């Protein structure tokens, strides 16, 4: 959701809205019983793993988004002034500061 790309923002917003809004049991039913209706047969365990993964992933995107958004904009600007690219900025500056904000909600998710 932090992307300036409109298409990426729309896809991630749709994904998080759908998978955070639907109850987990409904997701399991839709994957296990709905996919065979469109021609893709899936066993019970992979259906459960897929449903849990998609649900957890939706919550994780919001946790990471909030952790990254908690970092002051000046940190981004300082890294740009030093000539850091996006990947280096995330790896060396933003994520080390965001991890203390990200870790506690991750513990509540699992």
Domain boundaries, the chain: 1-69, 72-110
pLDDT > 90: percent of the chain: 68
pLDDT tens digits, one per residue of 50-79: 999 999 999 999 999 999 999 999 999 999
- Return d(Cα 33, Cα 29) in angstroms, integer: 6
Instruction: Answer for the pair 79, 41: CB distance below 8 angstroms, yes or no.
Output: no
pLDDT tens digits, one per residue of 34-43: 999 999 899 9
Q: What is the pLDDT of residue 5?
A: 75
* Triad 65, 15, 89: Cα angle to 5°: 30
């Amino acid at each position: 959701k932090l992307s300036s790309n409109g298409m990426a923002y729309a896809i991630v917003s749709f994904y998080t809205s759908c998978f955070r809004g639907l109850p987990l049991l409904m997701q399991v039913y839709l994957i296990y019983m709905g996919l065979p209706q469109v021609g893709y047969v899936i066993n019970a365990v992979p259906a459960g793993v897929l449903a849990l993964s998609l649900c957890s992933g939706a919550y994780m995107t919001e946790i990471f988004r909030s952790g990254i958004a908690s970092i002051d904009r000046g940190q981004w600007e300082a890294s740009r002034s030093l000539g850091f690219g996006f990947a280096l900025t995330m790896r060396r500056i933003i994520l080390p500061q965001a991890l203390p904000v990200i870790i506690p909600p991750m513990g509540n998710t699992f």
